[in-house]
């Protein structure tokens, strides 16, 4: 059997692995295919594709957009995107600017609580354009201001905690449209965490292509439930570990194993919709080319007028 893990975060958002490390773990886990799905970013996709190509792992370019529908937050995974699509890149840059402002706002709230963290420390640690709360948590731990990441979330960063700042989100229907315009498929991420299945038919009406039925935080019963809903609404099925790095001492990548036939179906659907990445053949060989150097230069952009709301 061939398997895939289609939900991975790299250090281009809040994951801790580089794309090359993810590709190496994918190979070690004998995964046939992976997708990089950084929050509001496609920046790591080119390096992921190169690294996977060298190791003979099929790589699907992707992203994970934060969206909302009638006050409900939901995450939309995009697959087989044209990662150079101008409007996609413009929208992602806008959301990255919002994320950077949100970091400043979170830090301002922490400072108000007499927690002496500096936003520069968070940006230096994050070293990416799409920073998030996990970076603030890591900076708090590194500065000795919290003992653990969990403590940072529980005391300060979780919803309803004093340094929580909501994210500026795209309307879900607009996010689906954007992903389609960039030649990709739009998949509802981890529906079991939304606790709102009523959203599914509404998102289907807005053009949703699939459901992430297999996810680390889905129970076996939830997986069966979402597989049935995918069938009911004629949706594609995806799955992934949502790996952000190590979890309890081992990499999370590969702990969810999606049967590869679903990747074939995704690729076919994307090709039907004219997605350009889907038309490239999956790698068949294991060439041995040098790994490109890791780029780690990042300067946060100045505050944008899109303050987090
Ligand atoms: P953000 O995108 O800034 O809202 O941060 C969301 C990310 O924070 C998620 O993708 C998870 O990686 C992480 N996260 C959310 N809640 C927690 C939590 N309670 N403990 C640890 N990590 C969390
Ligand atoms: Fe995350
Ligand atoms: Fe998510
Ligand atoms: Zn994710």
What per-residue confidence (pLDDT) applies to 212?
A: 98
pLDDT band for 167, please (50, 70, 90 cuts).
confident
17 lines ligand 1 (CB under 6 A): no
Cα 201 to Cα 47, 208, 230, 285: the distances in Å are 36, 9, 10, 41
276 lines ligand 1 (CB under 6 A): no
In the predicted model, is pLDDT for residue 292 greater than 50?
no
Cα of 239 vs centre of ligand 4, distance in Å, is 11
In the predicted model, is pLDDT for residue 298 greater than 90?
no
In the predicted model, is pLDDT for residue 158 greater than 80?
yes
Average pLDDT estimate for 12-22? 97
In the predicted model, is pLDDT for residue 302 greater than 50?
yes
Q: Which of 107, 129, 134 to mutate to test the pocket of ligand 1 (most atoms within 8 A of CB)?
A: 134
141 lines ligand 1 (CB under 6 A): no
Dist CA 99 CA 132 (whole Å): 7
What per-residue confidence (pLDDT) applies to 249?
A: 79
Average pLDDT estimate for 280-303? 48
CB 229 within 8 A of CB 223: no
Residue list, CB under 5 A from ion ligand 4: 64, 242
What sections of the chain are H helices per DSSP? 19-28, 45-55, 86-112, 119-126, 133-142, 149-152, 172-181, 199-205, 220-232, 261-272
Q: Which of 86, 36, 43 minimizes the C-alpha distance to 64?
A: 36
CB 148 within 8 A of CB 289: no
Cα of 8 vs centre of ligand 2, distance in Å, is 9
Give phi and psi for 291, each to the nearest 5: -75, 135
CB 254 within 8 A of CB 31: yes
CA atoms within 13 A on the CB side of 42: 28
Q: Which of 37, 132, 138 to mutate to test the pocket of ligand 1 (most atoms within 8 A of CB)?
A: 132
| pLDDT greater at residue 166 or residue 190 | 190
133 lines ligand 1 (CB under 6 A): yes
Cα of 94 vs centre of ligand 2, distance in Å, is 18
In the predicted model, is pLDDT for residue 301 greater than 90?
no
In the predicted model, is pLDDT for residue 142 greater than 70?
yes
The predicted-structure confidence for 188-217, as pLDDT tens digits, reads as follows: 999 999 989 999 999 999 999 999 999 999
pLDDT band for 247, please (50, 70, 90 cuts).
confident
Helix (H, G, I), strand (E, B) or coil at 24: helix
| pLDDT greater at residue 298 or residue 203 | 203
Question: Ligand 1, closest atom to CA 131?
Answer: 3
Average pLDDT estimate for 85-96? 96
CB 132 within 8 A of CB 173: no
In the predicted model, is pLDDT for residue 296 greater than 50?
no
CB 266 within 8 A of CB 58: no
pLDDT band for 295, please (50, 70, 90 cuts).
very low
In the predicted model, is pLDDT for residue 281 greater than 80?
no
Its pTM stands at 0.90
Closest-approaching ligand to the CA atom of 193: 3
Enumerate residues 6+ apart whose C-beta is below 8 A from 45.
19, 36, 59, 61, 62, 81, 83
Cα of 277 vs centre of ligand 4, distance in Å, is 21
Average pLDDT estimate for 225-234? 98
CB 126 within 8 A of CB 38: no
Whose CA is closest to atom 21 on ligand 1? 150
Question: Ligand 1, closest atom to CA 158?
Answer: 19
């Amino acid at each position: 059997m061939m398997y895939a893990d289609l939900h991975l975060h790299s250090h281009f958002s809040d994951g801790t692995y580089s794309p090359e490390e993810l590709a190496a773990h994918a190979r070690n886990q004998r995964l046939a295919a992976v997708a990089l799905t950084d929050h509001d970013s496609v920046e790591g996709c080119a390096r992921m594709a190169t690294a996977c190509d060298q190791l003979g792992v099929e790589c699907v370019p992707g992203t994970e957009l934060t969206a909302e529908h009638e006050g409900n937050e939901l995450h939309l995974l995009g697959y087989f995107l044209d990662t150079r699509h101008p409007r996609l890149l413009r929208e992602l840059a806008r959301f990255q600017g919002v994320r950077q402002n949100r970091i400043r706002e979170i830090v301002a709230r922490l400072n108000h609580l007499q927690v002496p963290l500096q936003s520069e420390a968070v940006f230096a640690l994050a070293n990416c354009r799409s920073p998030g709360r996990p970076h603030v948590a890591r900076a708090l731990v590194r500065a000795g201001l919290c003992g653990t990441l969990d403590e940072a979330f529980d005391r300060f960063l979780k919803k309803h905690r004093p340094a929580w700042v909501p994210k500026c989100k795209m309307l879900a229907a607009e996010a689906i449209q954007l992903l389609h315009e960039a030649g990709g498929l739009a998949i509802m991420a981890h529906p079991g965490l939304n606790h709102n299945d009523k959203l599914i038919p509404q998102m289907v009406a807005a053009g949703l292509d699939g459901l992430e039925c297999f996810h680390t935080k889905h129970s076996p019963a939830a997986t069966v439930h979402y597989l049935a809903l995918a069938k009911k609404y004629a949706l594609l099925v995806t799955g992934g570990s949502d790996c952000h790095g190590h979890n309890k001492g081992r990499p999370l990548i590969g702990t969810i194993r999606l049967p590869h036939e679903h990747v074939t179906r995704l690729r076919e659907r994307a090709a039907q919709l004219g997605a350009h990445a889907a038309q490239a053949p999956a790698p068949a060989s294991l060439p041995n080319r040098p790994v490109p150097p890791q780029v780690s230069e990042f300067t946060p952009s100045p505050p944008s007028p899109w303050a987090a709301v």
